[in-house]
Chain A
């Protein structure tokens, strides 16, 4: 059974999603336990695999028993092993948190929600561990399609912003597919390792460069790098709260992983950084993303929209860090994928709890929340400190690697953008805290903007539901634990994931 773990990571949530859809028509109480057991099993499989990778090196798995390039192969190494653990853990935590809220938000469609949730997780985990460039696209389709559906069922303008995401996302995925098509025409293979073995003999070739550019552009749309980020803020703002806390931490990070994987494992490091002239332009795009994302966040009046623009800026951190092309920068980028997944989960869960209880996330209406929801706000403070980059939390450490990487590479523009963005994050969150802590509460004023009186019945905002609160606090603690162990993670896992011989 131990040999079969790579298949089980993906197959278990897939089958569970189908089972949930079927059983929903018979017994609705069974759905949640099946869903959480399936994601839990994926998490356990991912952790076991990472431990195995750490002790034995990369693990290969041939689906259907066909060795590549004839069949499809999975390949788990230090890079995707680590990120798979993070992704399944985020998915598990969010699922554990979402039951009360989801049952109220989706009512008779909760079964479909759990099924789509599981399929989304399946898609992302499959993207992470596959070693086949086309298989990656198929799973990308699954995670995008379910993502569109989940994001579209929010209140207000969610339908419209979801539709916008459908258009942009489809264009992005098609560009990636076109790039893979080019690669297939040139090499005749779809397996990543096989393509990587064939490509050097074909260089220099304009077609290879074009394939690379097409793949990258498609992925930039999917990860919302600045000029292509148009779909993200509205889609995440208007989404149901338990959906934005699932998709915001995961989608962009997994796409950044795909960029790293395609760059390093399909095209080589030397090709991507030396033979194309892409390094500096992408770095400047990242700097632009960080600066403009932060400035846009500063001008928002709604909590979730502000957080969405912070996600746009964070994408710039990771893309820029990777394209610095040195050991510190790349380590920082990979570490930030992990850290940012949990930081985003933490703040979006808190925002979801606030939106659920206060039924409003306009900043000026958040008065008095430290009194009414103290534990939620405490977790939000930890998440915010981590996003700003205050030492005991994990956000500081990845930023440290990114900044030192920038200095080593002599890219002071990137360093300046990072510091600027940290300062802006500080202003953003302390503005929120000021409103929540110091602004006088004036019930009549606050009530005017609520659609209905909160569920508690007494008319006052109360603490978040117990399951959500437990997970939220656990995530906040995790942010500090991750910070304390980030040295271990970098030296024992991430350094082994990067190409050897990197300066």
Chain B
């Protein structure tokens, strides 16, 4: 049976390979893909949308409807992880661990034992051994703001250079995940709770879909950014450009929040107490 499967795969793969010889050459200027729709984008993007980056214009305006749903796909992924993995019933662990912050000493408290009173000096830590590593914690802490700043640049600069909401959102989310890995999940959850990540995730997609809906309510079609012209107080072409920035911001917010949300659920197997 395994041999039969192997032979089928080889035959079909060979067929696909053979047929790909009929494809136009890579970068062939006379291929259908390069002559049918692409010239329109290349020639008209600037006058249609006043966005210098053609990729951004195609992504967020010409085919912006696909991108709305791609963002919704990412949101669905976060929601699916939550739906399948989240466990809310808590069972008391056998032992709890506290770190005395000034000295770095670790305290182990058995079930039923008393918790240190001054919680400002003690911090609860994960039950798997976590070294008190000042270098890693401090380095990551110093790096995180710069990563976040760069992420904002990538989101905002999608008009002119490679970048945009998806890439910037991933970088921003990665910064928060870096913080979670170098510190711990509890501390990160205090900074950005699960509720906050779920809310930001949905708000991000609502910004995108809501912009579309707003255009519709203002008299243009769904996602026809020209409708935003009167609201933004600019001409229709600039309205497209500004609206692209708005939806890119929404995408960035959604991607950031969903990445963090998925990390919370995956790293702690849905318990969201400790992990990694």
In the complex with contacts A21-B202, A63-B222, A64-B223, A149-B76 CB distance below 8 A: yes
Report B174 CB to chain A, min CB distance, Å.
22
User: With an 8 A cutoff between CB atoms, is B79 at the interface?
Assistant: yes
Q: Which of B63-71, B91-99, B130-138 contacts A (4 or more CB under 8 A)?
A: B63-71
What's the Cα separation between A14 and B71 when bound, in Å?
A: 11
Q: Which residue of A lies closest to B193 (CB)?
A: A25
User: With an 8 A cutoff between CB atoms, is B195 at the interface?
Assistant: yes
Q: Which of A137-145, A348-356, A471-479 contacts B (4 or more CB under 8 A)?
A: A137-145
- B84, A188: Cβ atoms closer than 8 Å: no
Inter-chain CB contacts under 8 Å: number: 160
Interface centre among B15, B77, B84, B205 (most CB of A within 10 A): B84
In the complex with contacts A64-B221, A138-B73, A145-B77, A185-B83 CB distance below 8 A: no
- Among residues 221 to 235 in chain A, which have CB atoms less than 8 Å away from a CB atom of chain B? none
- Neighbouring B residues of A113 by C-beta, 8 Å: 83
What's the Cα separation between A19 and B65 when bound, in Å?
A: 19
- Neighbouring A residues of B62 by C-beta, 8 Å: 64, 66, 70-71
- Neighbouring A residues of B220 by C-beta, 8 Å: 65
- Among residues 110 to 149 in chain A, which have CB atoms less than 8 Å away from a CB atom of chain B? 112-113, 115-116, 119, 122, 126, 134-135, 138-139, 141-142, 145-146, 148-149
What's the Cα separation between A2 and B66 when bound, in Å?
A: 23
- A188, B33: Cβ atoms closer than 8 Å: yes
What's the Cα separation between A435 and B9 when bound, in Å?
A: 47
What's the Cα separation between A134 and B64 when bound, in Å?
A: 13
Q: Which of B73, B222, B226 contacts A11 (CB 8 A)?
A: B222
User: With an 8 A cutoff between CB atoms, is A454 at the interface?
Assistant: no
- A188, B38: Cβ atoms closer than 8 Å: yes
- B80, A148: Cβ atoms closer than 8 Å: yes
- A189, B65: Cβ atoms closer than 8 Å: no
In the complex with contacts A65-B226, A146-B76, A22-B63 CB distance below 8 A: no
Chain B interface residue count, Cβ-Cβ cutoff 8 angstroms: 57
- B198, A14: Cβ atoms closer than 8 Å: no
- Neighbouring B residues of A210 by C-beta, 8 Å: 15-16, 19
User: With an 8 A cutoff between CB atoms, is A285 at the interface?
Assistant: no
User: With an 8 A cutoff between CB atoms, is A273 at the interface?
Assistant: no
User: With an 8 A cutoff between CB atoms, is A18 at the interface?
Assistant: yes
- B206, A22: Cβ atoms closer than 8 Å: yes
- A62, B37: Cβ atoms closer than 8 Å: no
- Neighbouring B residues of A21 by C-beta, 8 Å: 75, 79, 198, 201-202
B96-131 CB mask vs A (1 if < 8 Å, else 0) is: 000000000000000000000000000000000000
- A188, B34: Cβ atoms closer than 8 Å: yes
What's the Cα separation between A108 and B79 when bound, in Å?
A: 14
Report A137 CB to chain B, min CB distance, Å.
9
User: With an 8 A cutoff between CB atoms, is A153 at the interface?
Assistant: yes
- Neighbouring B residues of A146 by C-beta, 8 Å: 76, 79-80
Q: Which of A7, A25, A69, A149 contacts B83 (CB 8 A)?
A: A149
B38-67 CB mask vs A (1 if < 8 Å, else 0) is: 101100000000000000000001111110
- B37, A18: Cβ atoms closer than 8 Å: no
What's the Cα separation between A69 and B199 when bound, in Å?
A: 36
Q: Which residue of B lies closest to A6 (CB)?
A: B222
- Neighbouring B residues of A159 by C-beta, 8 Å: 84
User: With an 8 A cutoff between CB atoms, is A15 at the interface?
Assistant: yes
- Among residues 1 to 32 in chain B, which have CB atoms less than 8 Å away from a CB atom of chain A? 15-16, 19, 22-24, 31-32
Report A211 CB to chain B, min CB distance, Å.
9
- A135, B31: Cβ atoms closer than 8 Å: no
- Among residues 174 to 218 in chain A, which have CB atoms less than 8 Å away from a CB atom of chain B? 184-189, 198, 205-207, 210
B178-219 CB mask vs A (1 if < 8 Å, else 0) is: 000000000000000001001101110110011011001000
Q: Which residue of B lies closest to A115 (CB)?
A: B79
Report B61 CB to chain A, min CB distance, Å.
6
User: With an 8 A cutoff between CB atoms, is B259 at the interface?
Assistant: no
User: With an 8 A cutoff between CB atoms, is A395 at the interface?
Assistant: no
What's the Cα separation between A383 and B214 when bound, in Å?
A: 44
In the complex with contacts A112-B79, A119-B72, A189-B223 CB distance below 8 A: no
In the complex with contacts A63-B65, A65-B224, A138-B70, A145-B80 CB distance below 8 A: yes
User: With an 8 A cutoff between CB atoms, is A236 at the interface?
Assistant: no
- Neighbouring A residues of B222 by C-beta, 8 Å: 4, 7-8, 11, 63-64
User: With an 8 A cutoff between CB atoms, is B225 at the interface?
Assistant: yes
User: With an 8 A cutoff between CB atoms, is B35 at the interface?
Assistant: yes
In the complex with contacts A109-B86, A138-B66, A189-B37, A116-B80 CB distance below 8 A: yes
Q: Which of A112, A142, A185, A207 contacts B69 (CB 8 A)?
A: A142
- Neighbouring A residues of B24 by C-beta, 8 Å: 185
Report B168 CB to chain A, min CB distance, Å.
20
Q: Which of B86, B209, B213, B224 contacts A64 (CB 8 A)?
A: B224
A1-34 CB mask vs B (1 if < 8 Å, else 0) is: 0001001100100110011011001000000000
What's the Cα separation between A62 and B31 when bound, in Å?
A: 27
- Neighbouring B residues of A384 by C-beta, 8 Å: none
What's the Cα separation between A11 and B223 when bound, in Å?
A: 10
- Neighbouring B residues of A254 by C-beta, 8 Å: none
Report B58 CB to chain A, min CB distance, Å.
9
User: With an 8 A cutoff between CB atoms, is A72 at the interface?
Assistant: yes
- Neighbouring B residues of A126 by C-beta, 8 Å: 69
- Neighbouring B residues of A109 by C-beta, 8 Å: 82-83, 86
Report A481 CB to chain B, min CB distance, Å.
34
User: With an 8 A cutoff between CB atoms, is A61 at the interface?
Assistant: yes
What's the Cα separation between A71 and B15 when bound, in Å?
A: 33
- B76, A18: Cβ atoms closer than 8 Å: no
User: Told that A22-B206, A66-B61, A188-B31 touch, could you supply 12 new A-B pairs with CB distance under 8 A?
Assistant: A7-B222, A14-B68, A15-B213, A21-B79, A64-B64, A65-B220, A65-B224, A119-B72, A145-B77, A145-B80, A207-B23, A210-B15
24 chain-A/chain-B pairs, Cβ below 8 angstroms: A4-B221, A4-B222, A7-B223, A14-B72, A15-B206, A18-B75, A21-B79, A21-B198, A22-B206, A63-B222, A65-B221, A70-B37, A71-B65, A72-B66, A112-B79, A116-B80, A142-B73, A185-B31, A188-B31, A189-B32, A189-B36, A189-B37, A207-B19, A207-B23
The 9 closest A-B pairs by CB, nearest first: A188-B36, A149-B80, A7-B222, A188-B32, A65-B224, A63-B65, A18-B202, A22-B202, A112-B83
Chain A interfacial positions (CB closer than 8 Å to B): 4, 7-8, 11, 14-15, 18-19, 21-22, 25, 61-66, 69-72, 108-109, 112-113, 115-116, 119, 122, 126, 134-135, 138-139, 141-142, 145-146, 148-150, 152-153, 159, 184-189, 198, 205-207, 210
Chain B interfacial positions (CB closer than 8 Å to A): 15-16, 19, 22-24, 31-38, 40-41, 61-66, 68-70, 72-73, 75-77, 79-80, 82-84, 86, 88, 195, 198-199, 201-203, 205-206, 209-210, 212-213, 216, 220-226
